[in-house]
Structure 1
Amino acid sequence: MRKSILRILVATTATGLLAALSGCVSRVQEPAPVYPVLRPVISEEAIPVESFTPEASDGHRGEGFLRKPPGKGPFPAVLLIHGGLPRRLTERIREYTLGTHTSRFLEGGYVVAVITYRGRDVAPRDQTPETVLDCVAAVEALRALPFVDPTSIAVTGTSGGGDLSLAVAAATDVAATVPEEPASVLMAGLVNENSDAARAADYLALYRAQPDHSAFLAKLARIESPILIIMGTHTTHSGINQWNDAILIPELRAAGKSVEVVTFPGEPHSFSFESTPARTPRPAAALKAFRHIASFLQRHLPTLPRPLDPRLVQHEPIGGGG
């Protein structure tokens, strides 16, 4: 009898121990699966790419492309301004229009317009007024479209285009402004034919050596829209980031402007706006930045976007790390 009881106890204990061990094993965390970041692809058959040629106040005819959600609207709109100083080739602007960043806005339900402008790569300080005229003309052309809510236009750009997005917000009414690492040293008039634009570390010294900052501060004072600044921290353009941290952002806040800043450590210059394998080593960071932008616009645009019918959108994986 005692042997039978002992056998039962041993069996029960062994079974319980195995069950306990089994439970422990089942709770071991497996590595989370890594899914590729996807980009929206919206065919031109579903949503055509239309020519967009706004006329500036001095009569210059600009160049760009536009895509709109199906229907009569009214829709909110986003104007996208590329970086750099030179005018972009037509085919490059068309690529931007079909690219990841722009297509995410379109998928979300925005009218999207991508423009180029009269270059300011010879004498930036002297040429910038014409460049700003081209960008303001694009906003006014969007405002005049019957399917766009004229009170729900946002402007975004990167680097030199980020500087222009701020200049546009200072020149006309927009609902929101989203510059990515804006090269606002241009807005401050620090770069011209005798300046070395590559010597970013000198920007602070150049600015502090100027006796009068009133023209720059007056431009900032005219901005009425809320501002979201997207920044990386890669050292290639650290001078621009240092300038924005030390001068632009404090001056905007001192002027009472609504400014949000979201920083992505380690990300290179223009990583979100470009969203290409060559410029965006971690596509997940660009997607996260876009989601910050989308949330910001949802809070500030009177007319909210309505996402496209999913049947119009395909999704493809983006190369690069997560």
Structure 2
Amino acid sequence: MAQGARLLRLRKRIVWLTVVAIHLWAAHANADELVHFASAAAKPTPFQERNAQQNGQVLKALPGTTLNGYLTRPPGEGPFPAIVVLHGCGGLSPNVRKTWSERLSSRGYVVLVVDSFSTRGIKDTCGRLLADRVYDAYGALEFISKYSFVDPQRVALMGFSAGGIATLEAVQLGGAEQLMERKFKAAVAYYPNCSATNGDMAVPTLILIGELDDWTPAKNCQVMMAQRSGQGSAVQLDVFKGARHGFDSPGLKTGIEVHGHRMEYNAAAADQSISDVRVFLQHVFREP
């Protein structure tokens, strides 16, 4: 009996240690790691180079800026598909850095959230656009693609608000993407200002926006879709009824006014958009 009791206690302890180990492993997988990398060099376009040559000038690429980022990876060796994430004009929010990082990594994606502001000494860009963010995206792509646990052929770009604008600009057909050696596989833009692009994209693109968004109106995206030339990859626009700017952010349940615009969480729109993103990424990455 004594030996049987000891064996039972030993088995229980092994089970307990296994549970703890799994818990710690999962916690480590969802923990973000501070990393540093450079934005891509801003190269002159062929048009700019031709103009410079006609004027006897030589244009050089502008060096990139050192940036901070937060890397989150799922457990295992991979290689995994990956998502580069761009925050909004107000900087890193808990929704982008934590909620979305954990959500995506739990589904098997390596996630790199780019901090475009801290090393530049910027508080916000809500009154202007920061064109350099397109190069931030490609610098992040170059950086993350060198990890052995990342599949460099399956990296998507995802952005929110101003980060969504930068996302669309980064993958616009014939834009900065043609100057870059590495390419994104797909793009996801939450509530961007669609008037900043002509809608022709180099990669499959998903745009998610609220019907009642008074900061980046859904109408601009609908006009963009109607005026697209049809060149490039497929673009999917999802407009969520009754939803406003920031509808996916649980921290905005009571709603707030920012720079004269309403931001508010909408559970139904958030849940549907998350499902749409999951299906979209599974399709473009050819996942089962």
Q: Same fold by TM-score, threshold 0.5 exceeded?
A: yes
- With normalisation by structure 1, the TM-score equals 0.61
Number of aligned positions between the proteins: 220
2:202 is equivalent to residue 224 of structure 1: yes
Structure 1 residue 71: deviation in Å?
A: 1.6
Structure 1: gaps of 5 or more residues: 1-41, 189-216, 306-322
Which amino acid is the alignment partner of residue 274 of structure 2? F
Structure 1 residue 43: deviation in Å?
A: 6.5
Which amino acid is the alignment partner of residue 241 of structure 1? A
Name which structure has the greater RCO, CA cutoff 8 Å, separation 6+: 1
**Post-superposition CA distance 1:178-224 (Å, at most 9, x none):** 11121244x35xxxxxxxxxxxxxxxxxxxxxxxxxxxx5xx55x32
Q: Which residue of 1 aligns with 2:217?
A: 240
Alpha-carbon separation, structure 2, partners of 1:144 and 1:277: 36
Is the contact made by 1:93 and 1:115 (CA closer than 8 Å) also made in structure 2?
no
Is the contact made by 1:64 and 1:116 (CA closer than 8 Å) also made in structure 2?
yes
Structure 1 residue 243: deviation in Å?
A: 1.7
2:264 is equivalent to residue 262 of structure 1: no
Structure 1 residue 231: deviation in Å?
A: 1.4
Candidates 153, 173, 185, aligned match of 1:175: 185
SS in structure 2 at match of 1:267: coil
Is the contact made by 2:30 and 2:106 (CA closer than 8 Å) also made in structure 1?
no
SS in structure 2 at match of 1:224: coil
Which amino acid is the alignment partner of residue 143 of structure 1? S
Identical columns (%): 25
Q: 1:157 to 1:72 in 2, by over 3 A?
A: same
Q: Which residue of 1 aligns with 2:159?
A: 157
Structure 1 residue 280: deviation in Å?
A: 4.9
SS in structure 2 at match of 1:52: strand
Candidates 72, 80, 86, aligned match of 2:77: 72
Q: Which residue of 2 aligns with 1:98?
A: 98
Alpha-carbon separation, structure 2, partners of 1:271 and 1:43: 28
Which amino acid is the alignment partner of residue 285 of structure 1? A
Q: After alignment, is 73-82 or 279-288 more displaced?
A: 279-288
Is the contact made by 2:30 and 2:105 (CA closer than 8 Å) also made in structure 1?
no
2:252 is equivalent to residue 299 of structure 1: no
Alpha-carbon separation, structure 2, partners of 1:123 and 1:262: 26
Is the contact made by 1:154 and 1:174 (CA closer than 8 Å) also made in structure 2?
yes
Alpha-carbon separation, structure 2, partners of 1:94 and 1:138: 20
Which amino acid is the alignment partner of residue 103 of structure 2? R
Is the contact made by 1:65 and 1:94 (CA closer than 8 Å) also made in structure 2?
no
SS in structure 2 at match of 1:271: coil
Q: 1:63 to 1:251 in 2, by over 3 A?
A: farther
Structure 1 residue 285: deviation in Å?
A: 2.5
SS in structure 2 at match of 1:72: coil
* 1:22-101 equivalences in 2 (<5 Å): 44-56=27-39, 57=41, 58-84=63-89, 88=91, 92=92, 96-99=96-99, 101=100
Q: 1:232 to 1:177 in 2, by over 3 A?
A: same
Structure 1 residue 277: deviation in Å?
A: 3.8
Structure 2: gaps of 5 or more residues: 1-24, 42-62, 178-182, 254-262
